[in-house]
Structure 1
Amino acid sequence: MSMNETINGVPVTEEQIAGWVAEAESGYDVEALKRRGRGRPGRGAEPSLVVALRLTPDELASLDARAKREGKTRSEVIREALAASAA
């Protein structure tokens, strides 16, 4: 393993790797893993669709500034703008 491997910017140690190996070798509770779920949480009863959107650097900067100012994500700001324009 490279000495530069990290998880969220924190270096991975040999002790961590040994612990993960021991955990894997002892086996996993598959049912518990299934209950945990995968990916992002849903936004409704149906799966959400991903839509690509092209923005200029200025538009993206404005979007990011608003999202930061309002404590929201880019997606939240875009969804709110779409909902407001459709009303």
Structure 2
Amino acid sequence: MGAEETINGVPVTEEQIAEWAAEAEAGYDIAALKKRGRGRPGRGAQPSQVVALRLTTEELAAIDMAAEREHKTRSELIREAIATYAA
């Protein structure tokens, strides 16, 4: 194995690979794996919906700059703007 093999910047060793192989060969607790859930956590009691929106590069840049300035994510900023508008 070459030195370029990493996980999150940390080199993977032959010993780690052997441990992972032994773990896989021993089998996994499927019930425990299923409990972990999938995807992003919900935002509330009800499921959220994804809405596609087309923006120009200028609009997107303006949103990203505002989000950075306010230390928020793009999604947070857009949700707040919609909530303010809809109120």
Whether these two folds match at TM > 0.5 is yes
- In structure 2, the partner of 1:53 is 53
Paired with 2:6 and 2:53, the residues of 1 have a C-alpha distance of: 31
| Structure 1 gap segments, 5+ residues each | none
Deviations 1:17-54 (A, max 9, x none): 33322221111122222221111001112221111111
| Structure 2 gap segments, 5+ residues each | none
Paired with 1:63 and 1:73, the residues of 2 have a C-alpha distance of: 10
- In structure 2, the partner of 1:24 is 24
RMSD: 2.3
Paired with 1:82 and 1:2, the residues of 2 have a C-alpha distance of: 50
Which stretch has the larger CA shift, 5-14 or 62-71?
Answer: 5-14
Paired with 2:2 and 2:75, the residues of 1 have a C-alpha distance of: 36
Normalising by structure 2, we get a TM-score of 0.77
Aligned residue for 1:50, secondary structure, equals: coil
Paired with 2:12 and 2:57, the residues of 1 have a C-alpha distance of: 35
* Shift of residue 6, structure 1, vs aligned partner: 5.2
Larger Rg: 2
Identity %: 74
